[in-house]
A = this chain, B = another copy of it.
């Protein structure tokens, strides 16, 4: 079963040749069949395209009723009879590209909803789609082909590059954003950071937060995630960086290109991530530290020190991954009943 057409009407149908071309894959034998949609292996029917990558999918592949499947060369023999094999080096990546043939990201439907409140001196680019109750502040510049969904707010002076999307209830303030930026539902960009100084009497005196947020091309911010603006100077997310839902980014944080910040992570003020850093869910990164290019942080880790490029850290406080796993295994042996080592954790 492909996608529910109420929500995701598919383009097509498409033949195996067109699909393989979009996917960068090789068709074994093209019997002229056409497909109408995409689906996971275990749900796919004879008109659906699926993919198989890794051992996790192998059992589902053997039982699949899919019309065609993107597979690596090594799994080709497991493709069931009647299912066309499309061979690709990276099947899931090939699937992402082929699926966009059926389900391209919806283009803007040009038009401004009559209820939108747009400042007279704001600039709205050609072909933008502006939904109900959207607010665009004074002097803001919205590039061509952007979509602002219901209730989205763009603050005064902001710049939003071409082809960007603000989903429902998102707010973009004090921000210069590149092209193809996406703020998901309720994302908050450009908020005042948590910046204050406490007097001897215990009163908190706000430090005026007069920096900006700079979002590179293709940055995506998850639902209800928060990115505070700089205190002075900027908070910067490099091109292609993606934040998942409910992530917190403090003032003056900087990331390089293509970082991946998974759900509920928090990054404290002024920390800097290199290129292609990955931070797994619920991890925390303290302020004023650096994570080198390609560093990876485990889920729920608490990073309190600099992490060199290419190093994996886990745990709270975070240690290099190898040491930490050793320590936990060792500790467990100290207290486990004799002979119980094979009971297998929580498995």
Contact = CB atoms under 8 A, between A and B. Distances in A.
Interface of A: 2-4, 6-8, 38-40, 42-43, 56, 90, 92-93, 95-97, 99-100, 102-105, 113, 115, 117, 131-133, 135, 139, 150-151, 153, 156-157, 167-169, 171, 173-174, 184-186, 188, 191-192, 194, 196-199, 202-208, 210-212, 218, 222-224, 226, 228, 231-233, 240, 242, 244-246, 248, 250, 257-258, 260, 262-264, 266, 268, 275-276, 281-282, 284, 286, 288, 299-300, 302-308, 311, 313, 316-320, 323, 326-328, 330-332, 334-336, 344-347
B306 A347 contact: yes
B7 A174 contact: yes
Contacts of A282: 266, 282, 284, 302
Given A208-B100, A263-B250, A117 B115 contact: yes
Contact of A327 (B171, B313, B335): B335
Given A135-B133, A135-B151, A206-B105, A286 B299 contact: yes
A150 B43 CA distance: 38
A257 B167 CA distance: 31
B284 A284 contact: no
A151 B133 contact: yes
B103 A210 contact: yes
A135 B173 CA distance: 21
Nearest to A228: B245
B231 A40 contact: yes
B327 A334 contact: yes
Nearest to A185: B188
Those 9 A-B pairs whose CB atoms lie nearest each other, nearest first: A3-B210, A6-B157, A103-B208, A117-B132, A93-B197, A8-B210, A226-B245, A96-B207, A191-B223
Contact of A135 (B150, B153, B260): B150
Copies of this chain, whole number: 3
Contact of A113 (B97, B117, B173, B316): B117
A93 B199 contact: yes
11 contacts: A2-B210, A7-B156, A38-B208, A42-B233, A92-B197, A96-B206, A117-B150, A194-B242, A198-B260, A308-B346, A317-B345
